[in-house]
Amino acid sequence: MSDRKTVFIVDDDDFVRTMISKLVASFGYDTKGARDGMQAIEMLSASSPPDVLITDIVMPRKGGLETVSELRAKYPALKIIAVSGGGRSEQGDYLELARKSGADEIISKPIDPSQLKEVLKQLMGKQ
């Protein structure tokens, strides 16, 4: 049985999701992906949870903030990274809100690959 860690990537932009998957694979992790929070939650309940989940905030159907709260309640051990290209709602900055909703780390877009590598390494080490 492989002991490779798995990273689950949720982003509605196909280019971004594919790019993050490739990056994460180049760091030596297995990857899975979903287009929005709804699809992610469905896929997660059908298989064993990943080690880390990377999610965008602004997505159709189910956005990142809601997804983070739901997953945090359901999978307390799951490490979550929220990424966003900026923007804010009435309640405040998206990334700060994501942290409040239960994200372990936040990364703003454009994603710096070295930063992502470092954050993933740290989160995997904590487990």
Partner 1 sequence: MRRHLAKAFPDGDVNIRTAGTGVEGLQLINSRSFGCVFLDYLLPDMNGLDLLRSIYDAKTDLASVPVVMLTGKGSESVMLEALRWGAQDYIVKDNISFHSLKIALTKAKEVFELKRNRAMAEEKLQQAQKMEAVGQLTSGVAHDFNNLLSVVLGNVYLMQEQITAPPGKMDTNALAEELTAIETVARNGAELVRRLMLFSRQRQLASQTANVNDCIRDAATLLKASLGATIEVAMILAEGLPSISLDVSEFANVLINMSVNARDAMPGGGKLTFETGSIVLDEFYAAQHPEVKAGEYVMVAVSDTGTGIDREVAHRIFEPFFTTKPPGKGTGLGLAMVYGFVRQSGGHVDVYSEPGHGTVFRLYLPKAGEPDRTEAAPVLPEPVQPGSIILVAENDDEVRGTAVTMLEKLGYRTLQAKDGKVALDLVKREQAAIDLIFTDICMGGFDGVELVREARALLPALPAVFTSGYTEHTVRANKIAPDDDFIGKPYHQEALARKIHVALGKRKRENV
Residue with tokens 């990424």: 83
CB of 14 to partner 1, least distance (A): 10
Single out the segment in contact with partner 1 by CB under 8 A; choices: 2-10, 39-47, 56-64, 70-78.
56-64
Judged by CB, which is closer to partner 1: 30, or 66? 66
How far from 68 is each of 13, 15, 106, CA to CA, in Å?
Answer: 18, 22, 12
What is the distance of C-alpha 112 from the center of its chain? 15
Can you tell me the distance from the alpha carbon of 57 to that of 29, in angstroms, rounded to the nearest whole number? 23
38 binds partner 1 (CB under 8 A): no
The correct pick among 46, 77, 110, 125 for binding partner 1 (CB under 8 A) is 110
The correct pick among 28, 45, 88, 118 for binding partner 1 (CB under 8 A) is 88
Cα 61–102–20 angle (5° rounding)? 60
Q: Which residues contribute to the site for partner 1 (CB under 8 A)?
A: 13, 15-16, 18-20, 22-23, 26, 58-61, 63, 84-89, 108-114
